[in-house]
Amino acid sequence: MTSFSLDSHFAGVMGDLLGPEFPDEIGLAVSGGGDSMALLTLAHNWTRHMGVGLRVVTVDHGLRPESGAEAALVAAECAALGHRYDVLRWQGWDGSGNLQEAARTARLRLIGRWRGGLRHVLMAHTLDDQAETVLMRLARGSGVDGLAGMADRRFVPQATEDGGFWLMRPLLTVRRAELRHYLTVLKGAWVEDPSNADPRFDRVRMRQALEILAPLGIDAAALAETAGRMARAQAALRARAAEAATRAVRVQHGDLLMDRDALAALEAETRLRLLAGGLQYVSGQVYRPRARALAAAADRVLSGGSASLHGCLMRAERAEIRLCREYAAVAETRAPVGAPWDGRFRLGGAAIAGLTVRALGEAGAAQLPARPEGLPYQSLIAHPAVFDGDRLVAFLPAGFGPEYDICRLTGQHGFAAFLTTH
């Protein structure tokens, strides 16, 4: 593409992603690399033309000595273009686990805190990134959801009044080389992250593997096309699961109750999708459980047993399967009234102002004059309650204490709707 045609392409993609109602302001995550610096220029041109404000952020993971200079480069470019710019620093990695996965999780969390009222944040993932992602997931034995790759528009849930924000990837159909050419023509600056050539990282090895596979027809374009087809299949499967949920699932005080017979009668893909989405809904976690662990847990509960997974309990109860929060996952979680609790609920009201929200627990349950009917003890003690020190003040499921408002922050529009976007 020429510089002009790339700007035109970007404008068209943004129109498709945003729909008819454009925001007053939009966010942009920039690392200083070629892809993100090209996106900065494209977003600058588009926002100026459309009359939309632009805020820019860099997440400095502090893992390389060059990161400070890269942030300074972005700062200088933003100052020249007239955009507000912030740097967020992550210092949370303890050296264990997958570094890149930890960095991605931290980046989303930090951006979520930074965004304020912004509902859309752009990231510079390209067609090449999409191909590498599909290849990595293929190596892990991923199913439809994994091979669908990265979505061009993904909702990131948060424990906020607006429920979260949309992460958008307007460059998923653009090659990395096209962006470098765009910057070169415009005499734009960027930095090359040396980790992008470090074979210790999975993504780099996949990038190298693509060079070998390309002569066989397994190139970036083919893999991205596969991702697009899988994304269409994913949308159909999500719709099927949402339709099944309207008939087979009900909500009880934040728990999910699934009809055992209806669940068992479903095809395996839909059944597992309902259970995975249910665990994500109940736990408030961004990601779903691993497929193998989920399949094993599903077999146990459909056979009349129970399982612990994803910070939740799954247990068979006569004609239903209950998905509830596990007490151990929330035992130490505290929040003042009016603040998010466990990323899922916000309790508020004048009658409980200034008090503390935490899980009911055994000590709180002992203070109830009577247990609410239909709510098993393991579920009961994991629900949010209002305390003044150690004294139980109010617990809505039992009708105990003064009334208060309770807002579910994740899945605000119901479980079926939740399944169509997660």
d(CA 42, CA 179): 10
For 191-239, write each residue's pLDDT tens digit: 887 677 777 788 889 999 999 999 999 999 999 999 999 999 999 999 9
For residues 72 and 134, state if they share a domain: yes
Same domain (yes/no): 102, 196: yes
CB under 8 A, 24+ apart: contacts of 249-254: 249/274, 249/278, 249/415, 249/416, 251/414, 251/415, 252/374, 252/375, 253/375, 253/379, 253/383, 253/396, 253/397, 254/282, 254/324, 254/325, 254/344, 254/345, 254/383, 254/408
pLDDT for 106? 82
CB 409 within 8 A of CB 339: no
Q: What is the pLDDT of residue 4?
A: 62
The answer to whether residues 280 and 392 belong to one domain is no
The terminus-to-terminus CA distance of the chain in angstroms comes to: 34
Q: Is residue 241 part of a domain?
A: no
Q: Indicate if 183 and 262 belong to the same structural domain.
A: no
**What CATH number is attached to the domain comprising 109?**
3.40.50.620
417 within domain boundaries = no
Domain annotation covers residue 247:
no
If asked whether residues 48 and 133 sit together in one domain, one would say yes
Q: Are residues 335 and 375 in the same domain?
A: yes
What Cα–Cα distance (Å) separates residue 354 from each residue in 161, 337, 342, 388?
Answer: 19, 6, 18, 9
Confidence at residue 22, expressed as pLDDT on a 0 to 100 scale: 84
Task: Give me the torsion for CA of 110, 114, 117, 120, rounded to 10°.
Answer: -60
3-state secondary structure of 138: helix
Same domain, 207 and 305: no
The count of structural domains within the chain is: 3
Domain end among 310, 325, 340: 325
Domain span holding position 315: 253-325
Q: Which helix (H) or strand (E) holds 320?
A: strand 320-325
CB-CB contact of 337 with 352 (8 Å): yes
The answer to whether position 233 is within a domain reads no
Residues of the chain with pLDDT under 70: 1-4, 61-65, 92-100, 159, 194, 411-413
Give the domain-ending residue among 325, 354, 374. Answer: 325
Please check whether residue 159 is in contact with residue 284, taking contact to mean a CB–CB distance below 8 angstroms.
yes
Local structure of 78: helix, strand or coil? helix
CA 56 to chain centre: 20
Domain shared by 336 and 315, yes or no = no
Within-domain flag for 265: yes
Q: Are residues 38 and 181 in the same domain?
A: yes
Predicted confidence (pLDDT) per residue in 365-392, tens digit: 999 999 888 899 999 999 999 999 999 9
110 and 45 in a common domain = yes
Asked which of 264, 298, 325 is the last residue of a domain, the reply is 325
Residues 314 and 344 in one domain: no
